[in-house]
Structures are given as C-alpha cells and as structure tokens.
Chain A
Amino acid sequence: MLCPLNRALAGAAALVLVASTAQAQVNLTSNTAAVTLNATKLSTLTVSPSAATATLASITDNSNANAFSNVNLTTAWNLTAGTSVRLVGWFANPAQALVNGTALIPSSNVEGGINGGAFTAFTGAPVGTVGVAGGSLQLFSQPVAAANFFANRLDVLNLRLNLVGAPTTTAGLYTGTLNVQAIVQ
C-alpha cells in the first residue's frame, strides 16, 4: 500500500514541476537593454534676400536720386537666448564699395534704409562681430524674448547712391558687394 502511494505522489509532484516549468517558459523575457538617443537642435539665424543683385541703370552725378532696385530680406531665427536680433549691412572695403576699374565709390556714398525709412550711409561701426569699421549700417534691431524666440520678419531694403557733392563719376559699370548679416545680442 505504501509503495504505490509514494510512487503516485512522486509522479504527481514531477508533473506539477514540469507543468510549472512549461508555464514559465512561455513568454520568457530577456533583460532590457537601453539605447540612449540624443539629438541636438541648434539655434538658427538666417537672412534670405529675394534677389542676389540690385541694379541701378543710370547713375546721376551730384544727386541722391540713384535708387537701386529694392531687395526683400527675410530674417528668420529660432533661439533660446538673446535680447535682440540685429540686421547689419556692410562693405568689406569701405573705400571701395563699388568699383569701376580705378574709379571708386566709397561706402560713404552708399545709403541704405528699411521699408521706406530714412537713408543712412554705410559708414558705421560693426555690430558685435558683424561688419567693418566705417563701412557698416545696422538696418534693424528686433527685440526678442521667449515669446518670439522662434520668428521671422520680412523687410524691404532700399539702397541708393548719394553723389551730392561727390566728384563726377567715370562712365562705366560700377560693381560691388553689400554683405547682409544678422546677429543675436
């Protein structure tokens, strides 16, 4: 009587053990491996002109009625800090803003304005690290804060030659490069 009972108990125990093993193996899970993802979005500040060239078909001496074609400027920024976005126009070599062979027009005879505002010569100081001494002009200063750290603005850049009192220019094509650059301060 005892031996069969023990066998039955042992068998039942073995079955229970096997059954519990099978149950544990279904949906067996591994350890969890973690992959760290890091992605940085950098601050951005861009200036996009609508045209690469501004032209003046005919220069009139001793006059400020020498308007170049207007250029639209879109300034866009996405920032985390700063108090202002400033747009600066500047000539690399103020004494030779426009060149026609040996004939030169300095930046003091080139004037700029924004959105129909007053014209001012490109004779100012750099703004921060942007610009050249005596050949720069701040076109606007846009206050920024958390509410507009991500924004943009569209401006019309008006340019002209002011040759009032300047020596008579030599006939020919005068070319030059006006740099337009924004800076956050």
Chain B
Amino acid sequence: MRVRAIRGRRLSLGLLAPIAALALGAREAGAQAGTGSPAQIIALAATKTSQLTLTVGSGAVQTIASLTDNTVNSFPAPVVITTSWDVNPGQTNTVNLMAYFTTPAQALVGPATQIPSTRVLGRMATGLPVAFTAISQAAVGGIGTAGGSLRLYSLNISGANKKANRTDNLELQIDLTGFPTLAPGLYSGTLNLQAVTQ
C-alpha cells in the first residue's frame, strides 16, 4: 500500500492536467480513506454592469404652430427627462446629460431654408444652462457634435448617489431675431438627448 501511494504521488508531479490529478486522487481515496486530495482553485468572477438610461416622460414632440420672424419663439411645453444610473463611484466622476443635433447647420429643415442649431436655445433650470443658451457647444465625452451640442447638467457621483435618478425639464426656443425671413412651411428636426459618465 505504501509503495503504491508513493508511486501515485510521483505520478501527480508528472501530470499537469487537473482531470488526471482528480482521477489519481480518487484512486488514492479509494486506497487510503481519510487522505484529502490537493485543493484546486476555481476563480469566481461576476460583473455587475453599470447602467445609465434616459427616458422622456413628456414633450417628446415639440410643436410651434406659427413661427414669427425676427423674434423669439418658445415651444409651449418642456421636455421632461429622467436619467437613471447605477454606477461604480470609484470609476465614475460625473453623470452628464447632453443635447445635440446631428447636423448643427440644419437643426430644423424647412422647405427652402434651414434653421441652424445656433438659433435653437435650451434652458434647464435645474442644470447648467439656467438661461436660454444656444445648442452650439462642443461634444462631451464623445457625445454630441462640434458646434451643435449643449451640456444640460453635470452631476458629481459619490457613494451616496451611485445609484439614483433625477428628473429635469428642458425648455426650448427658436430665436429668429435678426435671422432672414423664413419661407412659409414646416420646419422639423430631431434633438438628441444622451447621458454619459466621465
């Protein structure tokens, strides 16, 4: 019995495959009750994916029934935006909400002319542009377009708010002051909203 056990240990040194070791251990167990096999390590890894979502509760379609030249035209109701996140505060400094037009020169496209993003203003009383500001800024964190973006808020993340949400109102205007007279017709466009962590 002792000779067989020594032979078995030599074999285990020569073999690297765990299955072989397990098979050998089983033989040992059968051969010598109460003797344990070498412990094997199984690394466990489970990832909780960070989450960042955006929903528009109301105001997803904004309408001005009659544009007036050479004045500020306000959209009648705000866009109600809820941002939810569940992030690692050790790897996330801020949550930012961006508004942007894909083509700033043609924020709203009409029958003959376009309204650029410099003429579309946004305001978020609970955010950064508390006064109406043109959507003509730079992108942030790869979100947005150069000259066609507006950062609506930037919220610092800590352990206390690593999982939270917030709801904000975005008010919009079209400022045609000093702008060439528009041809009659429908002007339409898409304002994109997207959150990004940094």
Point out residues on A near B: beta carbons under 8 Å.
1-3, 6-7, 10-11, 13-14, 17, 21-22, 24-44, 78-80, 149-150
Contacts and interface: CB of A to CB of B under 8 A. Distances in A.
Interface of A is mostly: mixed
A3 B122 CA distance: 61
Interface size class of B (residues with CB under 8 A): 35 or more
A35 B87 contact: no
A180 to B, nearest CB: 23
A21 to B, nearest CB: 6
25 contacts: A10-B41, A13-B45, A25-B50, A26-B198, A27-B142, A27-B198, A28-B87, A29-B143, A29-B194, A30-B53, A30-B194, A32-B54, A33-B192, A34-B191, A35-B60, A36-B60, A37-B120, A37-B191, A39-B115, A40-B64, A41-B69, A44-B184, A78-B184, A79-B184, A80-B185
Contacts of A37: 62, 75, 107-108, 120, 172, 187-191
Contacts of B47: 17, 21
Interface in B111-128: 111, 115, 120
Interface string B147-191: 000000000000000000000001010100000011111111111
Interface of B: 13, 16, 21, 38-43, 45, 47, 50, 52-56, 59-67, 69, 73, 75, 79, 81, 83, 87-88, 91-92, 107-108, 110-111, 115, 120, 141-143, 170, 172, 174, 181-198
A42 B13 CA distance: 89
Contacts of A11: 43
A149 B183 contact: yes
A43 B111 CA distance: 13
A35 B194 contact: no
Given A35-B59, A37-B189, A80-B184, A25 B64 contact: no
Contacts of B64: 38-40
A28 B88 CA distance: 11
Nearest to B174: A39
Contact of A38 (B39, B61, B79, B142): B61
A12 to B, nearest CB: 9
A6 B88 CA distance: 29
B183 A25 contact: no
A82 to B, nearest CB: 11
Contact of A41 (B39, B40, B184): B184
